[in-house]
């Protein structure tokens, strides 16, 4: 198979879909690899390294025109749509439930799109987990920064110092993002509360943190009480492949402390705060009713070297399987890839995307057989 890895063009996105080491693996398996010029240069992967590993360095147009499968990091943006050709396979993060235009393009061009974030193996999301871990940790780091008075925050030091109160952090969701956020916030010395609707998960949180954080069932009353007393609120809710639920409403901001911050890690899936809108690393925050919002849609891009290594470790074997068998046979033989298939031959094959836009849904197995 001919595989192409283009340079990411989203604002301040420096990750890359394949490392030179990955290229070597694909080459050894008998595949042809195109890498766009300077695709990995921002994080120290030179064109020369890719060439030595067996890749051909080409321009974007040649790459898309000649590749059977495109391996990326972030979902394609509008300026990339015209490069895709009918029947191509796309392997990347997609977050389609928050992006109708991209969904329509993939269906119109009959792109066979496998989304990293919906690949599921034994009830785990192996290609999403590493980026969730990074995003959870960055959520605390960025919140601690932007709550400083110089950025319009309330001037709280999350750790406090002897004789002063600690900053209060509320984390909504006890999944991978939430646990990593809690780990860093506790490490900083903050007063941490985590909410979830799964009481077994909360018991697990109590156990691993040795009861050093507060756990609450995520009822409406508990949520409002917790955010009202918090300096930092981190949205870490995930429904795989579907739009995130809006758990904090606009009217709820009135009960929060002026200068506190809402950090929405779920923004890729539409966000879990009603007032959220995607921001960039250039302009990461905005203020509504005195409450700061941090809603950067590609948070791990800020630590692109670590993020690339973690991501490509998790995607490599799935990509090799698709390259070896083709997306149809790979999906039929590997239930993880089947779960990852969001569009195939002009059909929407992921229920969460279908529900988000009210478009026809076809079960993946049905369209493949």
pLDDT digits (tens, 9 = 90+) for 14-59: 999 999 999 999 999 999 999 999 999 999 999 999 999 999 999 9
Six token digits for residue 278? 């995607």
- HSE-CB at 195 with a 13 A cutoff on CA atoms is 21
Q: What is the pLDDT of residue 36?
A: 99
What is the Cα–Cα distance from 139 to 185, expressed in whole angstroms?
Answer: 9
Angle at CA of residue 274, ends 271 and 276, nearest 5° = 55
Count the helix, strand and coil residues of the chain and give each as a percent rounded to the nearest 5. 45, 20, 35
Q: How far is CA 54 from CA 23, 48, 117, in A?
A: 7, 10, 28
287 is catalytic: no
User: Residues comprising the binding site?
Assistant: 15, 74, 132, 196, 201, 218, 237-238, 265-268, 277, 296-299
Q: Is 11's pLDDT higher than 90?
A: no
Domains detected in the chain: 2-125+305-368 (3.40.50.720), 130-302 (3.40.50.720)
pTM of the model: 0.93
Mean pLDDT of 299-316: 97
User: Residue 41 contacts by C-beta under 8 Å, 6 or more apart in sequence?
Assistant: 47
Please give the average per-residue pLDDT across 336-351, as a whole number. Answer: 97
Binding-site annotation, residues for substrate: 15, 74
Instruction: Confirm whether 95 is a catalytic residue.
Output: yes
Binding residues for NAD(+): 132, 196, 201, 218, 237-238, 265-268, 277, 296-299
Closest CA to 205 of 269, 197, 310: 197
Can you give the three-state secondary structure of 62-93, one letter per residue? HHHHHCCEEECCCCCCHHHHHHCCCCCEEEEC
- Pick from 196, 270, 186: which is nearest to 232 by CA? 186
pLDDT tens by residue, 101-127: 999 999 999 999 999 999 999 999 999
pLDDT per position as a tens digit, 321-333: 999 999 999 999 9
Average pLDDT taken over every residue of the chain: 97
* Residue of 31, 95, 99, 264 with catalytic role: 95
Strands 291-294 vs 285-288: parallel, antiparallel or unpaired: antiparallel
Give me the catalytic one of 191, 231, 264, 268.
Answer: 268
pLDDT of res. 239: 86
Query: What is the per-residue pLDDT across 235-248, written as a single tens digit (0 to 9) for each?
Result: 999 888 889 999 99
């Amino acid at each position: 198979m001919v595989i192409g890895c283009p340079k990411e063009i989203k604002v301040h996105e420096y990750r890359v879909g394949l490392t030179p080491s990955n290229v070597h693996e694909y080459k050894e398996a008998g595949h042809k690899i195109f890498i766009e010029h300077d695709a990995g240069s921002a994080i120290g992967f030179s064109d020369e390294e890719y060439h030595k590993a067996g890749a051909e360095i080409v321009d974007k147009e040649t790459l898309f025109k000649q590749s059977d499968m495109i391996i990326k990091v972030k979902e394609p943006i509008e300026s990339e749509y015209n490069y895709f050709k009918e029947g191509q396979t796309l392997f990347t993060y997609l977050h389609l439930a928050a992006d109708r235009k991209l969904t329509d393009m993939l269906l119109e061009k009959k792109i066979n799109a496998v989304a990293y974030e919906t690949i599921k193996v034994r009830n785990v999301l192996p290609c999403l987990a590493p980026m969730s871990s990074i995003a959870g940790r960055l959520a605390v780091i960025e919140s601690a920064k932007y709550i400083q008075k110089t950025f319009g925050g309330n001037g709280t030091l999350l750790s406090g110092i002897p004789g002063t109160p600690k900053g209060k952090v509320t984390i909504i969701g006890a999944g991978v993002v939430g646990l990593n956020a809690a780990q860093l916030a506790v490490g900083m010395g903050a007063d941490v509360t985590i909410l979830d609707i799964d009481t077994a998960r909360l018991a697990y949180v109590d156990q691993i943190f040795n009861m050093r954080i507060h756990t609450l069932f995520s009822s409406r009353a508990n949520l409002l009480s917790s955010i009202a007393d918090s300096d930092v609120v981190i949205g870490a809710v995930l429904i795989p492949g579907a739009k995130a639920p809006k758990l904090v409403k606009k009217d709820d901001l009135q009960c929060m402390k002026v200068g506190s911050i809402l950090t929405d890690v779920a923004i890729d899936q539409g966000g879990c705060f009603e007032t959220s809108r995607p921001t960039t690393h250039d302009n990461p925050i905005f203020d509504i009713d005195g409450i700061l919002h941090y809603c950067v849609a590609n948070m791990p891009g800020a630590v692109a070297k670590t993020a690339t290594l973690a991501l490509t470790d998790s995607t490599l074997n799935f990509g090799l399987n698709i390259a070896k068998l083709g997306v149809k046979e790979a999906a039929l033989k590997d239930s993880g890839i089947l779960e990852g298939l969001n569009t195939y031959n002009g059909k929407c094959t992921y229920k969460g995307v279908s529900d988000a836009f009210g478009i026809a849904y076809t079960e993946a197995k049905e369209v493949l057989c």
